[in-house]
């Protein structure tokens, strides 16, 4: 290790802890009122850490509160139906996180007697939990000394030490893990973990970092070089894909809309969406007769909805059409539900349901579908 690198490390942790004592976030819903050195419930911390992956704190708070009210402990989450879990995650995005939470809760129930494991290896063996998330859970709940390396920490460290190279590459990531390990103090580990997260989220931000208020700017190499926003090195650009979709908003005489449940994996896995045409040229009336066994009246194009995913942009053309008649073989047992009564605006089968957007019944639908429903009820 170079003498310059040693000097940079000398007061890094203590400076961040001093900053945290005055500016850190200590009243978030998943933070206990107990002193940091006391054990906190790892279940609460686990849920919050998964929700906070690629999602802002301000967005997470309301979802966290509703989720915890419905699933207050591991057993309640493990024993819940997947549909219920997805319903309370609906709108938060990155739905594999919810599926992994459910699977992990069942694994904890079955393999750990319902008690959240407290060794790093056991936590990392749970679905959807990597090294940094596992370390954060144990640091916050047990004050255990495990370094973290989320996006905020990567940004802080690459700037402070002026580390070039995209952090997603193995070589740079390994270098950052070594630094994270060396900088994590032996005492006040939970405070330090929260401090470096908060520091990156509120001061050393991706764009427009407030370097004038930074407690370590006198030793930050990126700041001294005059180019803090040059770090971290951005991910090499790849062309962003664009996809188009035509979705059918099929309504019946009760102002309900037909929804179809997605397969459990893939985009919007396990969520309820509008029927989607298989190709751009397909006649939607013929498709409805062939695939659903229903005749629909001519449709009306609604405003196009744009929805961004991690790797591509989706352009949805909603087509609003109404049911004209139903064939006798309409999805087998679905015929009775279509013609019969409804509970809370929803007629549910394994794969199809009629949904009234004004009924406010709980259902797992993605944000893009909610946006389309908002067009309908304006």
State the catalytic residues.
Answer: 49
Q: Alpha helix locations (H) across the chain?
A: 3-9, 12-23, 42-51, 57-70, 74-78, 82-89, 96-111, 120-124, 131-142, 151-160, 170-183, 189-202, 221-225, 284-287, 334-339, 367-377
**Cα–Cα distance list, 323 to 132, 280, 295 (Å):** 51, 21, 6
Contact 20, 172 (CB under 8 A): no
Residue entry with tokens 């509008």: 274
In this structure, the chain runs to a length of 378
Contact 93, 367 (CB under 8 A): yes
Which residue in 345, 338, 25 sits closest to 195, CA to CA?
25
Which residue in 59, 91, 62, 88 sits closest to 76, CA to CA?
88
The Cα 277–Cα 324 span in angstroms is 19
Structure tokens at 95: 């739905």
**Cα–Cα distance list, 72 to 52, 65, 81, 156, 253 (Å):** 18, 10, 15, 34, 40
Which residue in 213, 261, 257, 206 sits closest to 234, CA to CA?
206
The Cα 299–Cα 162 span in angstroms is 58
Q: Which residues contact 64 (CB under 8 A, 6 or more apart)?
A: 29, 30, 47, 48, 51
The Cα 183–Cα 187 span in angstroms is 12
DSSP 10-27: TTHHHHHHHHHHHH----
């Amino acid at each position: 290790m170079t003498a310059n690198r040693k000097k940079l490390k000398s007061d890094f942790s203590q400076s961040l802890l001093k900053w945290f004592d005055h500016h850190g976030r200590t009243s978030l819903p998943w933070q206990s009122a107990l002193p940091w050195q006391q054990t906190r419930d790892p279940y609460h911390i686990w849920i919050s850490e998964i929700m906070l992956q690629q999602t802002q704190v301000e967005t997470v708070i309301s979802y966290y509160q509703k989720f915890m009210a419905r699933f207050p402990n591991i057993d309640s989450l493990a024993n819940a139906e997947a549909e219920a879990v997805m319903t309370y995650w609906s709108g938060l995005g990155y739905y594999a996180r919810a599926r992994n939470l459910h699977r992990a809760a069942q694994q904890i129930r079955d393999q750990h007697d319902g008690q959240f494991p407290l060794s790093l290896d056991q936590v990392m063996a749970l679905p959807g939990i990597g090294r940094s998330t596992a370390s954060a859970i144990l640091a916050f709940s047990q004050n255990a000394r495990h370094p973290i390396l989320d996006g905020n920490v990567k940004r802080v460290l690459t700037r402070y030490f002026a580390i070039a190279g995209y952090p997603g590459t193995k070589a740079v990531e390994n270098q950052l893990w070594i630094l994270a390990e060396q900088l994590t103090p032996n005492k006040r580990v939970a405070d330090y973990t929260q401090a470096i997260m908060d520091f990156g989220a509120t001061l050393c931000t991706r764009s427009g970092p407030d370097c004038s208020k930074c407690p370590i700017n006198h030793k930050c190499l990126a700041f001294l070089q005059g180019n803090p926003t040059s770090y971290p090195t951005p991910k090499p650009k790849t062309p962003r894909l664009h996809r188009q979709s035509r979705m059918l908003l099929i309504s019946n005489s009760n102002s309900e809309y037909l929804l179809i449940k997605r397969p459990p994996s893939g985009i919007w896995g396990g969520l309820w969406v509008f029927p989607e045409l298989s190709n751009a040229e397909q006649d939607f009336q013929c498709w409805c007769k062939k695939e659903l066994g229903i005749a629909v009246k001519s449709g009306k194009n609604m405003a196009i909805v744009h929805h961004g995913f991690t790797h591509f942009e989706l352009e949805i053309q909603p087509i609003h059409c109404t049911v004209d008649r139903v064939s006798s073989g309409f999805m087998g047992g679905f015929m009775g539900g279509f013609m019969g009564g409804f509970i809370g605006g929803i007629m549910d089968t394994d794969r199809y349901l009629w949904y009234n957007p004004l009924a406010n019944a709980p259902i797992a639908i993605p944000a893009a579908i909610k946006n389309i429903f908002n067009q309908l009820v304006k």
